[in-house]
Chains A and B, each alone.
Chain A
Amino acid sequence: MNILLYDHTFEGFLTAVFEAYEFKLKQVKIVKEALQTEQLFAKITKVFTQAPKAERVYQKLKTLIGDLGLHRMLYTFLSEDEDLETHLWAVVQYALNNSKRNIIQDFSHPSVLKLSQYEQMVHREKHRMEAFVRFRLTLDDIYYAEIEPDFNVLPVIAKHFKDRYQDQKWMIFDQKRTYGIYYDLHKVELVEMKFANHLNKQEGLEMLVKDEKLYQHLWQTYFKKTTIQARKNSRLHIQHVPKRYWKYLTEKFPV
């Protein structure tokens, strides 16, 4: 077996695909670097990500499975599932072996089906995050939010926030993956830093503008008052707003 190690990036994965074909490797398994376990009888190669190779694979796939297919591959990638490379690789091979037709809707193939399921999962999380981000205004005039999404959705929610909040600086920080996206009134950039969760702690509060707490309080007041007690239905409530998200929802903060 040939094990190809890549650097956890989508480009890295595409480079690995390129090399698998370039060197006509048999029995390929593409694995994230540092995640491989000891394998007897396997040849392990480290792939160095190269943008031109990735780009060529990308363009080829585009002709085979179209934008929908690439979209699905990207969302699959963001799911961070441990089997995702196996399914991506299977779909890539299936597409290349059937270059006469677009196979991306052929759900009789288990990995094609699997990709559409990954896509759905990640898409759902994207929607949730577009809804559940709660900004707090900091002293340096940045609207700041923390999230802990189930999947790595920052890259796909950036556009939504950029379209919507064009006249304010904002940052959304993924606590689980310790990176964020930052909009500086012109463009969105990735930022990595050990921001930890200091805004959650008491001493972080002095970083917030004076009115911030008051607006949070007003929002909590509103949330309470807009509920109709005679219709209360906690089961439905939790189904829509699962408890694991409460930590970052202003309306759910203890008052």
Chain B
Amino acid sequence: MNFDRITEKLEILADAAKYDVSCSSSGAKRNNQNKGLGNSTGMGICHSYTEDGRCVSLLKILLTNHCIYDCAYCVTRKSNDIKRAAFTVQEVVDLTINFYRRNYIEGLFLSSGIFKDADFTMERLVLVAKKLRLEENFNGYIHLKSIPGASDELMKEAGLYADRLSINLELPTEKGLKLLAPDKNREDMIKPMNYVKNEIIVFKEEKKLFRNTPKFAPAGQSTQLIIGATQENDLEIIQTADSFYKNYQLKRVYYSGYVPIADDARLPSLQSKVPMVRENRLYQADWLMRFYGFKADEILDPNLPFLDLDVDPKLSWALRNQHIFPIDIQKADFEMILRVPGIGVKSAWKIIEARRFSHLNENHLKKLGVALNRAKYFISYGLHFGNLKFLNSSNLKQFILGNTKSKYQDQYNAQLALF
């Protein structure tokens, strides 16, 4: 191997891949077979953390940053004057194996610019996965980024070797896509996604009949949306996410605050800040939809299409719906307890368990992991109403914020100062 050349390629192709935030390696169980190399425990290990505090779990690279398309938000776009490089299939295999054997990584996350056409590119991505599985007997994690417009046959093969497949929608609406990525169309992205969804359903059916049905993308599909490159409001973004969760049974939607990389009138200026607070709020909203039973249009309505930056969306919902509270912690349904700010899924279960044995009070709740500084304004214990006198006051938000400090406070202040 010519290491100087490989180092240079790695510099270019890791740099170009870093904007993809979906680096999780969880959700797939794969045992080490036949005394081979590696396994996936389903938990995913962060082997290190970048200096921006993100988990390093996978070797995340592009196969090449040559691209025939010109998407405005992307560093790899055709019109961008940058160094180009391409790994060979074998080089990616060798890097993955050697990193894995040293316990640097959980596996590979391979994506690519589009050279020649969709299938030509996809074929090579699939070949990397195939070699890893069949020639190297590798059982670590593989995430392949599908190329929009790739054929069903290739998607099928991809699913046999990869743990997870993803296609990044990148722009939350078709309008945004037309503006910034005129060469792409949403159909091409949705078709492979739909195909994979159906294959996963078929796999689950067959598995019931034949125990040895080969695995198909056991960690499912995910996608990524770029936040703040176009004018979409948060309601449009979470509606898009919601519909993809429902229609394509995605495991995850990732939100990536736009990092300014191009001087282009269609895009935010190069000086603009990465919208990190907004990104965080969207993750919280996403969480509420997936685990707390909130609907997209409860979190936001057309009159309020942006998430509140200074409080999390659950608290924000509670503040808008003060008439529903207080809820009686001794009697309320699980679903309602979940909606109390400061109570998470785990503590909600524990409350249901514990209240069968005793009449709960503040002390109990504290021990069960409830953040009382928030929750206390919204609950009653069936007996007395200590903090509830604040509930109907119009400045409840100030009361609560006075009691808690957001970890994003600094950034939040900085963002506000811009307006």
Task: Flag the segment in B12-20, B194-202, B230-238 that touches A.
Answer: B12-20
- On whether the beta carbons of A237 and B18 are closer than 8 Å, the reply is no
- The complex places the Cα of A215 from the Cα of B50 at a distance, in Å, of 19
Smallest Cβ distance from B109 to chain A, in angstroms? 11
- On whether the beta carbons of A164 and B10 are closer than 8 Å, the reply is no
Can you name the residue of chain A whose Cβ is closest to the Cβ of B57?
A131
Residue from the list B11, B38, B61, B274 in contact with A231, Cβ < 8 A = B274
Smallest Cβ distance from A159 to chain B, in angstroms? 11
B90: CB under 8 A from chain A?
no
Q: Which residues from 57 to 106 on chain A have a C-beta closer than 8 Å to any C-beta of chain B?
A: none
Q: Which residues from 103 to 122 on chain B have a C-beta closer than 8 Å to any C-beta of chain A?
A: 103-104
Can you name the residue of chain A whose Cβ is closest to the Cβ of B23?
A226
- On whether the beta carbons of B46 and A230 are closer than 8 Å, the reply is no
Residue from the list B46, B98, B101 in contact with A131, Cβ < 8 A = B46
For A164, the chain B residues whose CB sits under 8 A away are 32, 38-39
- On whether the beta carbons of B103 and A163 are closer than 8 Å, the reply is no
Residue from the list A166, A168, A211, A226 in contact with B56, Cβ < 8 A = A226
Q: Which residues from 5 to 59 on chain B have a C-beta closer than 8 Å to any C-beta of chain A?
A: 6-7, 10-11, 14-15, 17-19, 31-32, 35-39, 45-56, 59
- On whether the beta carbons of A145 and B103 are closer than 8 Å, the reply is yes
A244: CB under 8 A from chain B?
no
Residue from the list B18, B53, B103 in contact with A225, Cβ < 8 A = B18
- Contacts known (A226-B60, A233-B52); A214 close to B99, Cβ less than 8 A: no
- Contacts known (A134-B103, A166-B32); A241 close to B49, Cβ less than 8 A: yes
Q: What is the predominant secondary structure among interface residues of chain B facing chain A?
A: loop
Q: Which residues from 69 to 104 on chain B have a C-beta closer than 8 Å to any C-beta of chain A?
A: 95, 98-99, 101-104
- The complex places the Cα of A163 from the Cα of B40 at a distance, in Å, of 10
B415: CB under 8 A from chain A?
no
Smallest Cβ distance from B404 to chain A, in angstroms? 19
- On whether the beta carbons of A143 and B51 are closer than 8 Å, the reply is no
Interface residues on B, range: 35 or more
Residue from the list B39, B101, B104 in contact with A163, Cβ < 8 A = B39
B276: CB under 8 A from chain A?
yes
Interface residues on A, range: 35 or more
- On whether the beta carbons of A165 and B37 are closer than 8 Å, the reply is yes
- The complex places the Cα of A165 from the Cα of B36 at a distance, in Å, of 8
For A225, the chain B residues whose CB sits under 8 A away are 10-11, 14-15, 18
For B47, the chain A residues whose CB sits under 8 A away are 131-132
- The complex places the Cα of A229 from the Cα of B274 at a distance, in Å, of 11
Q: Which residues from 193 to 237 on chain A have a C-beta closer than 8 Å to any C-beta of chain B?
A: 211, 214-215, 217-219, 221-223, 225-237
Q: Which residues from 119 to 156 on chain A have a C-beta closer than 8 Å to any C-beta of chain B?
A: 127, 130-137, 143, 145
- On whether the beta carbons of B6 and A218 are closer than 8 Å, the reply is yes
- The complex places the Cα of A233 from the Cα of B14 at a distance, in Å, of 20
- On whether the beta carbons of B137 and A167 are closer than 8 Å, the reply is yes
- On whether the beta carbons of A218 and B7 are closer than 8 Å, the reply is yes
For B6, the chain A residues whose CB sits under 8 A away are 218
- The complex places the Cα of A145 from the Cα of B36 at a distance, in Å, of 20
- Contacts known (A131-B47, A163-B32, A167-B35); A233 close to B53, Cβ less than 8 A: yes
- On whether the beta carbons of B98 and A215 are closer than 8 Å, the reply is yes
Most buried by B among A217, A229, A233: A233
- The complex places the Cα of A221 from the Cα of B104 at a distance, in Å, of 13
- On whether the beta carbons of A226 and B53 are closer than 8 Å, the reply is no
B191-219 CB mask vs A (1 if < 8 Å, else 0) is: 00000000000000000000000000000
- Contacts known (A168-B101, A228-B259, A231-B276); A218 close to B3, Cβ less than 8 A: yes
- On whether the beta carbons of B18 and A227 are closer than 8 Å, the reply is yes
- On whether the beta carbons of A237 and B51 are closer than 8 Å, the reply is yes
A251: CB under 8 A from chain B?
yes
- The complex places the Cα of A166 from the Cα of B137 at a distance, in Å, of 11
**Which 9 pairs from chain A and chain B are nearest by CB?**
A236-B53, A231-B52, A240-B49, A225-B14, A227-B50, A233-B53, A135-B102, A166-B35, A225-B15
21 contacts between A and B (CB under 8 A): A131-B45, A131-B46, A133-B103, A134-B104, A137-B101, A137-B102, A143-B101, A163-B32, A164-B38, A167-B36, A167-B37, A217-B7, A218-B3, A221-B10, A226-B14, A226-B15, A228-B19, A237-B50, A237-B52, A237-B53, A249-B48
Q: A225-B18, A231-B52 are in contact. List 16 more A-B contacts (CB 8 A).
A: A131-B47, A132-B47, A163-B39, A165-B37, A167-B35, A168-B37, A219-B102, A222-B61, A223-B48, A225-B11, A225-B15, A228-B50, A233-B51, A236-B53, A237-B53, A250-B102
